[in-house]
Structure 1
Amino acid sequence: MIWEIDEKKVVIEGLDAAGRPDPAYAAALGLLQAPSGRRAVAGVCDLVGWLLLQLPLWLGAVPLLLKLAGGSISPYGFINHPGFVLAVVMAAVSVVFSLVYCVVQLVMHGLRGMTIGKAITGIRTVDVRTLERPGFGRVLLRSLILLAASLVPLLLPVFLASPLFDAARRGRGWHDRATGVWLIDVRGGLDPFDEKRLRVARKMVKAAPAAERAVLPSLATPSDSRAQPEYRPGSRISAGVLGVARPHSANERPAVGLSQATAPVPPASTDAGRPVLGGFRPAGPTPSAPARAPLADQGLVADVPVTPSPVPPQIPPVQESRPQPTASPVRNPTVQPGPTVQPGPTAQPESAPQSTAEQASASAGVPPVRASAPAVRYALRLDSGESILVAGPVLLGRNPDATPHPGARAIPLADASRSLSKTHMLVRPVPGGVAIVDCGSTNGSGLFHDGVEYSVTAGTPAMAVEGDTIRLGDRRATVVRV
């Protein structure tokens, strides 16, 4: 039997095939190199702090030492001098404070990547390979290199100016490359010591880009109103019959229905007494009956007496069983009784079956009132499987406070990674979807539409429709129709 031991190898992200740090990966995360001017200011701040701690030594002990060195007093007089005890105390204070200052600087630099001067100027030191804290050993070795360079005349300025001549253009000096560290700017770029933001940035860089969608030909109306489309899809009218929309000018109101359609009625036919079915009229003589003449502006009919004409038998008679609505008064009647009126070439579309209430309304001359469709509501389906109905304003977060948003319903969300803010996002229903407003969250919010993520600016509403995915920190929620 062969036993295999699973060795957990630490995988370092951001290294190329040769194991060297990739500058493009750091730039994608949002890391920026520290400017040379601020690096110099940080060094001056650290030096000034160390010099201030030497004041007790220079004021209390150095004058007495200068007297001893100049021969003003003997060694016996130096020891028995009245200010000898004070000089020793002042020198001890400077030495102790200087040691504490150096230890604190080294510990802060190794654990948090900053000294007092770097904290003031917004600079951090990180391990160039892992982009994490440099460690106590690296910063101690870096300090010893600078200390050794200061012992050689003119060598320390060369070391301090070496970041200006970095071939990789990352601002790393000789002492930085020798210890494997990198100084970055946290004011203008990402702070790698903010673990949440660094984790989110690594996820965004590691995520595969969404595949581009193929551009399909559009059958929609062109944006240029003067251009006539070669093809426009049909649309349904109120009677349920497919119609074709015709081009019209900007000031012309388009006619709805089949007002422009031509029925294939034989020109020799003069029978206006029977209804037209399928473009043909029943054969045989018919008694005199009032004909229905269309009124384009109201969609109603008026009774007009016409003289019947015999038609040679061509098609077996067809019985029309559907009741015809009676004529209703019109606002501007233009049809006057008179001699024989030839039926026009237009054919009225066959209307859909009417209910009893609609027939009663038609017979009374009152247009039927249709019940309005139920309102469409939306909900948020969380990545945990839970659903939140957005019937009104909803406030989401780790522990949302609804005081600044009167009327909003506060719903706390579980967040193991603590990427949600206390009050993260406000969601409210709008026609066609929901509106989301980021409440100034720490880790921000995003909106995925058609596979592309768009950032949501804090305080600015954004529209989310059905199928879109909302990102709240590390949590996800999909907009669904209820």
Structure 2
Amino acid sequence: MTDDAERCPRCQQPLRAGAAFCTSCGTPLSNRSARNARNAREHAQIPGSIPVTPGPAAGHGQGGGPAVPSKLELVPATAGKRLAAAVLDWLPPVTVLAILLALGFAGITRTQRGGFIVYDTSSLVLFGGIGAGVTLAYVVVLAILEGRSGATPGNRLMGIRSTDADGYAPGGGAVFLRGLITGAGVLLAVVAAAAVVVFQWFGMALLILGPLLFLGAAWAVLVVLSSTWDRNGKLRGWHDTAAKTLVFDVKAGRNPITTGGIAGPYSFAPLDLPPVQQVASPLAAAAAAAAPAPAVLDPNQWQPPAAPVNQVQPPATVLPSAVQPAEVRPAVQPAAAAQPARVAVESSPVRQLPHPDDDHDRTQVRGDTHAPVTVAMLRIRLDDGRDIELDRTVLIGRNPAGHPGEESVQLIPVADPGRSISKTHLHLLAGNGGVWVTDRNSTNGSAVTTPDGIRTALAAGEPTHVRPGSTVHFGDRSFYLGQA
């Protein structure tokens, strides 16, 4: 948790150290990059900047948003790394399953009763069930890990990550489909093994299961290596094409899951931010209000001389209260004549300005001492390459049209030959530093993928706030939300 000084200048929400933008309203934050120790010793701190602790040049943004990596290029994973990662992932469960099945087959006994040969397969059922349960649990955990983060133990060791077509976490459905295609031969061998146990073909078990296991392993290797023959240059295998997934080398390039997907966040390039405006300081306004105004001098009021004068001043004339001729005093008494003048000056009231706190009976309206905050315009980049600046209210669909009474609505039609999106699919309302996205009861639904790679399905008819840097999916189409 940060101290009270680190708050968003727009919404006043607490910020985490090193954040590139406010996670509440999406306002970009400047002058927050850390400097190394050499620059910190040579240069003094810039007035008005927020000191941060020096950190690595690349990695996760501490504020929850994507950090600027040192490598901006995307590098597809080679077939060799993908095969090595698959071997590392599947070697432990296959080894455990093979050992348990061997123990089960070794424990099968054969007895002859009434002229029939009876096989006791209780050991095979026991050890085979344990091996199948352990393997199934391992597969489920592995699929969840890869679906949420694109990383498995083998992927981490080889430095690769699995993503969807937009560069975010692939999701459980895509991972399941890829595994089903890759392990189709192994699944066939498992079905054959079950048939051997049910029909008690133990004499032919080796002849049946041996070739099937070999063919299943060869098919899995062929599917993984099929990325070598991808014509699009993306090194996509057959299972990747079916599941619409990609695999990237995060050691040679950047990790798209943590850096804003394939398109990358807008923070990679300098933003055209509005110029800094002069803001009147509230402290200066308060000091000016508290300072007393200069008193207005009466021209008839006595003023002290600028310097002492040696000449004898003429006597000041004091008006009596009654209408009588003034008594003229001799000029030989200058000291006595000066006394009435001093008394007259002291008796005249001195006009003072009222204190601002004395006028407590009236409520005074305080002037706006802050300049208006310039709000960055929001833009969307569709997957067909169009870049559109958003109005306050937007409708997106195959042929969008507003409800009766909806006026001043921006309509964005999206071509969809496959008819995966509805006529009016999404309703967008700008606000709170982002947009409120509502699915208008579409047929195929909608989803939002945050900059962290988390994908969430949208409930029909319920507005969901989407911040800049996120990707909105509707049908088979999508758009990226950013700031102008």
- Normalising by the smaller structure, the TM-score range is 0.3 to 0.5
Give the TM-score of the pair, scaled to structure 2. 0.33
Larger radius of gyration: 1
Give the TM-score of the pair, scaled to structure 1. 0.33
The answer to which structure, 1 or 2, has the higher relative contact order (CA under 8 A, 6+ apart) is: 2
